[in-house]
Structure formats: structure tokens, C-alpha cells
Structure 1
Amino acid sequence: MKIGPKVYWRKTSGEVIFMTPQIESESARETTKEDDMGFYPQLKGYDPEQVDVLKLEFDKYTEDFYHATSYRVNPDTKTMEFTYPSNSGSDSPPTKPLTDQVAELKTRQDSTEAAMLALMDTTTTT
């Protein structure tokens, strides 16, 4: 069974408090927020009402976590945001994960190519 990581974050700021490790094991089982808050020392002492959790798919954003200089959860959208180093030497503003941006660009590219092929087909048959 493959279980993705869970990101525990402050509801008010989006600051990530702790991430559980992802697990790949036959004996693995899903845990609840209450389980995790009682088990992980990093979560003990936090008010459960002030903390939210974002469950990620197994291997989701692995490259983004590796390349980012920081990350947070957007409290409004409840999605991950990453800060990446820029060529100017300073960090970029927080953005959606690059893996999501690449997937969106791939979808747009496929749509554009399909439209161009349809247009080419229309102009060659008339």
C-alpha cells in the first residue's frame, strides 16, 4: 500500500508545522488527524482547532519539495505553494507547484496542437 504524506499547517498563516513521511508498505494503514497529533512529537501541544491537514498523493510534489526554498499552504485555497530560487539571486514569490504548472501547459499545448491540426485539415480539404 502506498500512503502519501500529510501536511499539517496553521489555519491562520498557512505555515507548515510538520509533514508526515510517505509510506510504501503492505502493513501500512491510513491514520487520522487525531492519531497523528497524538503520535508525532512535532504536533503535540498544538490546538487541533488551529491546525489543518492536507493529504497529498504518494510522490506528489516530490520534485517541488526538492527544488523549493520554502513552501506553505494557501489558507484560502488549501493548496500547496512553493517558493523557488530565481536567476536574480532572490527567491520568487510563492506560486503553485511547478509540476502543476507543467501539467497545465502540457494540456494547453495538446489543445493548441489539436486546433492547429483541425485548422490545417480544414484548409487542405477546401
Structure 2
Amino acid sequence: MKIGPKVYWRKTSGEVIFITPQVESSSARETTKEDDMGFYPKLKGYDAEQVDVLKLEFDKYTEDFQKAINYRVNPDTKTMEFTYPSNSGSEPEKPLTDQVAELKWADLDNKEAIAGLVQIVMENAK
């Protein structure tokens, strides 16, 4: 079973407090927020009402976490935001993996549009 990491963050600021490790094991099981807050030393002492958790898919944002110089959870959208060396000092942005996926879809849309235009031109050339 593959269990992705969980990002624990402050509801007011989006500051990441702790990220649980992802697990790949046949004996692995999902844990609750209460389980984690009682088990992980970094979470002990926090008021559960002031902390939220974002469950990520297995291997989601692994590269983003490695390349980013900072990251947080946007409290309004409850999504990850990363600051990379190339945008340090500016606003956090979407994870690079999400940006790449969006660009791939946009590229596919462009290719379909071009194919449609080529077909129209070919039909009009007859």
C-alpha cells in the first residue's frame, strides 16, 4: 500500500509545521490527525483546532519540496505554494509539477487548434 505524506500547517498563516513521511508497505495503514498529533514529537503541544492537515498523493510534489527554498499552504485555497530560487522574494507560486501539467494541456489544445486550421485550409484549397 502507498500512503502519501500529510502536511500539517497553521490555519491562520499557512506555515507548515510538519510533513509526515510517505510510506510504501504492505502493512501500512492510514492514520488520523489525532493519531499523528499524539505520535509525532513536532506536533505535540499544538492545539488541534489551530492546525489543519493537507493529505497529498504518494510522490506528489516530491521534486517541488526538494527544489523549493520555502513552501506554505494557502489558507484560503488549502493548496501548496512554493517559492523557488528563481522567484525568491516574489509571491509564492503553484507547484512546478502543476505548472508543467497545465502547460502540457495547453500544448495539446494548441496542437488540436492547429490541426483544425490545417484541415480548414486544405478543404478551402480544393
TM-score (norm 2): 0.95
Q: Measure the CA separation in 2 of the matches of 1:86 and 1:31.
A: 36
8 A Cα contact 1:84 1:92, kept in partner: no
Q: Does 1:45 find its partner at 2:7?
A: no
**Secondary structure at the counterpart of residue 71 of structure 2:** strand
Partner residue of 1:60? 60
Task: Count matched residues.
Answer: 124
TM-score (norm 1): 0.95
Q: Measure the CA separation in 2 of the matches of 1:66 and 1:102.
A: 16
Partner residue of 1:120? 118
Residues 28-82 of structure 1: CA distance to partner in whole angstroms, max 9, x if unpaired?
Answer: 0000000000110100010000000000000000110010001000000000000
Gaps of 5+ in 2: none
The two structures, once aligned, show a CA RMSD in angstroms of 1.1
State the identity %.
76
Partner residue of 1:14? 14
8 A Cα contact 1:84 1:91, kept in partner: no
Paired amino acid for 1:77: T
Paired amino acid for 2:24: E
1:101 corresponds, among 75, 79, 99, to 99
Deviating beyond 6 angstroms after TM superposition, the runs of 4 or more aligned structure 1 residues are none
Gaps of 5+ in 1: none
How far residue 86 of structure 1 moved from its aligned partner, in angstroms, is 1.8
Residues 13-42 of structure 1: CA distance to partner in whole angstroms, max 9, x if unpaired?
Answer: 000000000000000000000000011010
Paired amino acid for 1:32: T
